[in-house]
Amino acid sequence: MKKHITFLFWIIMLFSFHPSQGQQFTAGMDLSLTCLGGNDYLIRLTFYRECSGGAPLLTASFVLECTTDSTNNFNVTGVPIKAGSGVEVTPVCQTMATHCSSGSIHGIEEYVYETQVTLPPCNHWRIGWSGNGTHLNGYCCRLPSNTITSPTSQYIYTEVTLNNLHAPCVSTPTFTQPPQTMFCTNQTQCVNPGAVDPDGDSLSYSLVTPMTNGNQGTVNWIPPFTATQPFPSMPAISLDPVTGTLCMSPTMNIISPMAIRVQKWRDINNTPQVVATSYRDIQINVFTCNNQVPSLSGMDPSLNSGYDPFNNTFTKVACLGDTVRFAIWGFDPDLPDTTWGDREKFSISWNSGIPQADFQAFHNNTDSAYAIFTWVPELADTRDAPHCFTATIRDGACPYNGMQSYGYCLFVKGIKVDIGSDTLLCRGESITIEAVTQPPAVYHLWQLNGIPTGTPLANSSYTLSTDMVPSGEHVVSVQVTDGTHNFPCPGMATVVVDVVVRPNPDLGSDAVVYDNTPVTLDAGPGAMYHWNTGDTTQQITVNTTGLYSVVVDGGYGTRCTGTDSVFIEFIIGVDEPDGRSALTVYPNPTTGEVTLQLPEQAEGVMEAQVFSVEGRLVFKQQIHPDPNGRMAFVNIGHLPAGIYLLKLHSSRHSLVAKLVKE
């Protein structure tokens, strides 16, 4: 019990400091600018008030300076507190009350001030918060501290910068996590500010000396403390410049300010330049804890490894179009002790830093919570800058919850490639397949059925001739890269080309049958058969006069087809004509008028009948042969293009010929 009493005594002594009447004390603050379109911007100041101080500021003021053109400078005053502000963000357990709710321990409230401004293009805007004034002298005061001189009379100041001349409508980084200010002695703890960038640019993080005004004023460190080591830690304080995760192992109870600078980078004229900067100024409070702070693992793509203290994978490459899925495991070594709250139970949350992704936490408020992250990056997600989110684990310890937060970053790589859709070629055809890529590819490795084609790597197209391959399905694929041999996410695409034989059916010549013997017609090789008789077999047997036609498909429902037709006439009781009874028709094909050269036996009036391939009579006329030249004329110019059967009838003769109308 003595240990518990000692701890409570220290907490009361540490946080029972009460400033003079009306004096304001700040636990942290940050500023951001978000482009609303054109040159219109939203200024957002987030102010973290130490509840033991005076009442929050009712309004805020901002000084806006274009450092390269002072004619653009102006001030904004009287910005009110945003509705809904004043929420307590202290990680306090449910059974404890802070100064924010008439309690006796340290507490923090969040206040937001927002206003809209118009910023003409300028290569260096500086926007500073000035408390109640219209200057850049900062605002008093900071909390008591063991690491800087005259802490309670030190001013606090923050600003943002941006270049909307070379980067139009650029926004500054924005912090999505309230500052974590409470840390335990002799424990390794990590915190991530959850900075996001609405423009998708690269962010870098660094520790800087907290500012006291906008005229290069900063706090004065008491040696050996510095901006990068603002309090004793073993090992030393470290900040991941990519993820923004700050880790520390404080070795003593101490209070100290700390400032994180987030710089936003963009290529301008092929040169990386800082186009915006944000700062977060926070007050760190290190105290003796009676619980162990819970931890989160790195990325676990197996989804079942459980918490591994050696899993330090917090960044990875994600390939365009692939499903990125990994688990994040929580762990807390504490045993249950109701004296200090639910210190062994914890929950996991995130800051929605990748809005299109899914983050599901399981078994929150138990000793076994974990989360699963799922995301499928799209083409718009490919960029040099990483996509990052922050995950936070928080236990139920009293008086303050143990917390840690970590940044998880994904670098999306890959090239989107489109080579069209599956297609069909008839034997004798060829196709040129073009690879359309975003962003442009440099190398193209073409393969046919898994075997490199030998096409030069620079060629973005490949031509496949059906003479090169047998009939059947063939897979054409391409793999594209940006020209580097270790490109982690090559773009890939495949199409299936189905090569089909085009049939060439031959039903033979038109024929006249005098003995009424059935005739078998054979359409030859093919996959599907469509006869005008309704039959679907390769062969049919006929015994009635008519025009017989067939469409043979080399596959099943393809365009690789061949057609043929034949006229068969069955005559009973008429002697077979000799060669002099042949009917000659010309021109054939014809566009209209047809000349009939009649055989010698033809005499008297005859009837000419024209039939379609379906056997329907479409035209007829009387024929009066020329007695000298044995010639007659028929005009089918009014009929549509196609194949027709011409039949001449007399009392003694029946003559047939096939006509083709163009």
Compute the distance between CA of residue 124 and CA of residue 269 in angstroms, rounded to an integer.
17
CA 367 to chain centre: 35
Which of 13-27, 378-392, 552-566 has the least mean pLDDT? 13-27
**How confident is the model over 238-279, as pLDDT tens digits?**
999 999 999 999 999 999 999 999 999 999 998 999 999 999
Q: For the ranges 22-31, 212-221, 571-580, 618-627, which has the lowest average pLDDT? A: 571-580
Record the tokens describing residue 579, joined without a space: 């060669």
Is the pLDDT at 17 greater than 80, yes or no? no
Cα separation, 528 vs 561, in Å, equals 9
Domains: count for the chain: 4
Residue 173 has pLDDT above 80, yes or no: yes
> Does residue 10 sit within a domain?
no
Instruction: Answer yes or no: is 87 within a domain.
Output: no
Residues 293 and 403 in one domain: yes
Looking at per-residue confidence, does 515 or 162 come out higher? 162
Q: Phi/psi at 659 (nearest 5 deg)?
A: -115, 145
| Cβ-based neighbours of 1, under 8 Å, separated by 6 or more | none
pLDDT in tens, 64-74: 999 999 999 99
The CA-based angle 136-141-147, given to 5 degrees, is: 110
- Please identify which residue in the block is written with the tokens 């094909």: 589
The model's pTM is 0.75
pLDDT of residue 484: 82
- Residue 423: inside a domain, yes or no? yes
| Alpha helices for 530-596 (secondary structure H) | none
400-417 CB burial, b ≥16 within 10 A, e <16: bbbbbbbbbbbbbbbbbb
Q: In terms of domains, do 458 and 557 share one? A: no
The pLDDT > 70 percentage for the chain reads 91
Whether 110 has a pLDDT exceeding 70, the answer reads yes
Return all residues near 50 (Cβ < 8 A) that are at least 6 apart.
25, 26, 27, 99, 106, 107, 108, 143, 283
Closest by CA position to 142, among listed 128, 158, 119, 127? 158
Average pLDDT over residues 453-462: 95
pLDDT band, very low/low/confident/very high, at 577 (cuts 50, 70, 90): very low
pLDDT score, position 510: 82
578 has a pLDDT exceeding 70: no
> What residue numbers bound the domain in which 314 lies?
289-413
- Given 575, 597, 632, the domain boundary residue is 575
**How high is the pLDDT of residue 207?**
98
Residue 115 domain-assigned? no
Tell me: do 561 and 610 sit in the same domain: no
In a domain, 383, yes or no: yes
Three-class SS of residue 343? strand
Mean pLDDT of 590-608: 79
CA angle 421, 424, 430 (to 5 degrees): 100
Residue 497 or residue 134, greater confidence: 497
Q: Is 510 exposed, middle or buried (0-12, 13-18, 19+ CB in 10 A)?
A: middle
| Residue (of 129, 114, 123) closest to 64 by Cα position | 129
Tokens for 662, please give them.
């163009």
Most confident of 26-30, 141-145, 430-434: 430-434
| Residue 575 DSSP label | P
Rg of the chain on CA atoms, in Å:
44
> Residues 517, 633: one domain?
no
CA distances from 377 to 265, 327, 482 (A): 22, 17, 18
Q: What are the Cα distances from residue 86, in Å, to 27, 48, 50, 56, 321?
A: 14, 9, 11, 9, 43
Residue type (1 letter), 534: G
Average pLDDT over every residue of 107-136 = 90
Strand partners, 655: 648
Q: How confident is the model at residue 574 (pLDDT cuts 50, 70, 90)?
A: very low
pLDDT for the residue numbered 20: 44
Where helices occur in 281-321 by DSSP H, the ranges are: none
Q: What single letter denotes the amino acid at residue 123?
A: N
CB 77 within 8 A of CB 59: yes
pLDDT at 454 over 60: yes
Residues 434 and 344 reside in one and the same domain: no
Tell me, yes or no, whether 399 and 494 share the same domain: no
CA distances from 423 to 435, 471, 497 (A): 15, 14, 5
Examine residue 341 and state whether it is found in any structural domain, yes or no.
yes
What pLDDT is stored for residue 425 in this prediction?
A: 97
The answer on 381 and 312 residing in a single domain is: yes
Whether residues 354 and 425 fall in one domain:
no
> Which amino acid is present at 530?
H
Query: Do the bridges between strand 295-296 and strand 461-465 make them parallel or antiparallel, or are there none, so unpaired?
Result: unpaired
647 falls within a domain: yes
* Domain boundary, last residue among 452, 473, 499: 499
The listed range with the strongest mean pLDDT (232-236, 379-383, 593-597) is 232-236
Predicted local distance difference test score (pLDDT) of residue 435: 97
Burial state string for 80-117 with b = 16 or more CB within 10 A and e = fewer than 16: ebeeebeebbbbbbeebebbbeebebbbbbbbbbbbeb
| CATH number, domain with residue 440 | 2.60.40.10
Q: What burial class does residue 230 get, using C-beta atoms within 10 Å of its C-beta: 0-12 exposed, 13-18 middle, 19+ buried?
A: buried
Taking alpha carbons only, the member of 337, 183, 202 closest to residue 263 is 202
Q: Are 391 and 405 in contact (CB under 8 A)?
A: yes
Measured at the CA of 541, the angle between CA 540 and CA 545, to 5 degrees, comes to 115
431 against 154, higher pLDDT: 431
Average pLDDT estimate for 569-594: 69
pLDDT at 599: 73
Question: Do residue 429 and residue 519 come from a single domain?
Answer: no
| 533 & 495 share domain | no
Can you give the pLDDT at residue 614?
Answer: 67
Residue 438 sits in the same domain as residue 470: yes
Pair 405, 473 in one domain: no
Cβ–Cβ < 8 Å for 103, 42: no
Q: What is the pLDDT of residues 640-659, one digit of tens each?
A: 988 888 887 776 666 777 88
pLDDT band at 509 (very low <50, low <70, confident <90, very high): confident
**Whole-number pLDDT of residue 422:** 97
Looking at 474, 499, 524, the residue that finishes a domain is 499
